[in-house]
Chains A and B, each alone.
Chain A
């Protein structure tokens, strides 16, 4: 059975997997953008520095902790049952996944911001939200960008496997071929994924150096 693993069927993989690989990348792009931008306001509520109300702080903090405990593929399974098979479930699953990571990373960054500008804004008459928007947000934007690119990479990796539970992307093809034990078809797909992931990662490293 392992012999076929090392006898890849390249043409078959290019013909059948490239469309699904594109779908995988689209899922990752959409989910990381949505997840990170939903997490941006949430993490201000989940930080002691910008949210003095203890009850809402605890609620937001434990909400973020809670969604972080459920693994990405569990989300995908739940969403495929709830909204049906297909990439939409995958996007929802990865939105939860990236929201959880961004929420944790960003709220911890907000915890350690310089409180001086915040105070200055309030002293000159800004409301709490205005003060946060004008003096806390600019401080964390570089971190947000770096985390976003990191989460995008994670999402690319995670979206590859979503198809195993029917949530769209290239994993779907791997799953069907696995059932038929066609390891000669799986191995070229895995190599394709490897190249795509490495290429995207290099792009993201380049972008990070360019922006930051």
Chain B
């Protein structure tokens, strides 16, 4: 039997990647003072923390404090996603190089890149002195970051459309605007809507942590309980947050599946 040899440059690439990964992790680990005994003692310490959380603090007072905070995170995520969706939709048309001018598209993409480079928490930092402590700052931070990510994703969807419908609209006398409305939008809407929902799921996690810097949501509650070493209550915060995220994820995922795949027809 004749088995062809692996090309040499592929072999070199393989070893190069392996070396890169090994050297990278050793260099990083040495810079971070990670020693074997810290690694081996970590599981035990984590177990101590987990066992300190149970039984959970389910007193009425705790529930009354935690549930509104979790709901606030949900509201921030939803409002932020709406802001992101509304603003990113027109921007994504500007950024797509097949429907927009070439130079304009490149410029818009750079702006979107810059927006995306700031994590929500850093944005919240910048906004804190302007809009003050509270959920408004969190909503704006989540919204602005969503414009960046949704704009990029949506413009890529628009770039991948089928040009046929556009041509037929043009040949039957439609204007450039007609092309956008009747050629592009119907093609991209299902995918973009599912991206909006997907972004909502991500924003939910982002808004949960925004409270750490005082921008509203459940994060402040968790960090305070951990600081005061009130582990049962911290455990309650965690469990309520996880439950909320799981529920929202499940609902959103099923809606997304319905949008992309259509109704399942039983034969």
Indicate, yes or no, whether A interacts with B: yes
Residues in A lying within 8 Å of B, measured CB to CB: 1-2, 5, 22-23, 25-27, 29-30, 33-34, 65-66, 69-74, 77-79, 81-83, 86-88, 91-92, 157-158, 160-161, 164-165, 168, 174, 178, 181, 183, 186-187, 190, 193-194, 197-198, 201, 211
Across the two chains, which residue of chain B brings its CB closest to A183? B129
CA distance A130 to B13 in the complex (A): 25
In the complex, the answer to whether A69 meets B242 with C-beta atoms within 8 Å is yes
Interface residue B58 (Cβ < 8 Å from any Cβ of A): no
CA distance A29 to B30 in the complex (A): 12
In the complex, the answer to whether B33 meets A88 with C-beta atoms within 8 Å is yes
Of A30, A71, A161, A174, most B-chain CB atoms within 10 Å: A71
In the complex, the answer to whether B212 meets A165 with C-beta atoms within 8 Å is yes
In the complex, the answer to whether B126 meets A5 with C-beta atoms within 8 Å is yes
The digit string for B1-16, where 1 denotes a CB below 8 A from any CB of A, is: 0000000000001000
In the complex, the answer to whether B219 meets A88 with C-beta atoms within 8 Å is no
> Given the known A-B contacts A82-B46, A183-B129, are A65 and B246 also in contact in the complex, defined by CB atoms under 8 Å?
yes
- Residue among B31, B113, B125, B226 making CB contact with A23, cutoff 8 Å: B31
- Residue among A29, A69, A91, A183 making CB contact with B245, cutoff 8 Å: A69
Residues in B lying within 8 Å of A, measured CB to CB: 13, 17, 21, 24-25, 27-29, 31-34, 38, 41-42, 45-46, 48-49, 113-114, 117-119, 121-122, 125-126, 129-130, 205-206, 208-209, 212-213, 219, 222-223, 226, 238, 241-242, 245-246, 249
CA distance A23 to B30 in the complex (A): 11
In the complex, the answer to whether A81 meets B226 with C-beta atoms within 8 Å is yes
In the complex, the answer to whether A73 meets B42 with C-beta atoms within 8 Å is no
- A190 cross-chain contacts in B, Cβ below 8 A: 118, 122, 125-126
Is the contact region of chain B dominated by helix, strand, or loop, or is it mixed?
A: helix
- Residue among A5, A92, A160, A201 making CB contact with B42, cutoff 8 Å: A92
Of A70, A73, A181, A198, most B-chain CB atoms within 10 Å: A73
In the complex, the answer to whether A160 meets B209 with C-beta atoms within 8 Å is no
> Given the known A-B contacts A27-B28, A30-B28, A165-B212, are A71 and B122 also in contact in the complex, defined by CB atoms under 8 Å?
no
Across the two chains, which residue of chain A brings its CB closest to B248? A69
In the complex, the answer to whether A81 meets B129 with C-beta atoms within 8 Å is no
In the complex, the answer to whether A77 meets B222 with C-beta atoms within 8 Å is yes
> Given the known A-B contacts A26-B27, A29-B24, A164-B121, are A1 and B129 also in contact in the complex, defined by CB atoms under 8 Å?
yes
CA distance A88 to B36 in the complex (A): 12
Q: Shortest CB–CB separation between residue A206 and chain B, in angstroms? A: 14
In the complex, the answer to whether B114 meets A194 with C-beta atoms within 8 Å is yes
In the complex, the answer to whether A2 meets B31 with C-beta atoms within 8 Å is no
Q: Shortest CB–CB separation between residue B241 and chain A, in angstroms? A: 7
- Residue among B32, B46, B117, B238 making CB contact with A194, cutoff 8 Å: B117
- A23 cross-chain contacts in B, Cβ below 8 A: 31-32
In the complex, the answer to whether A26 meets B38 with C-beta atoms within 8 Å is no
- B28 cross-chain contacts in A, Cβ below 8 A: 25-27, 29-30
CA distance A102 to B242 in the complex (A): 19
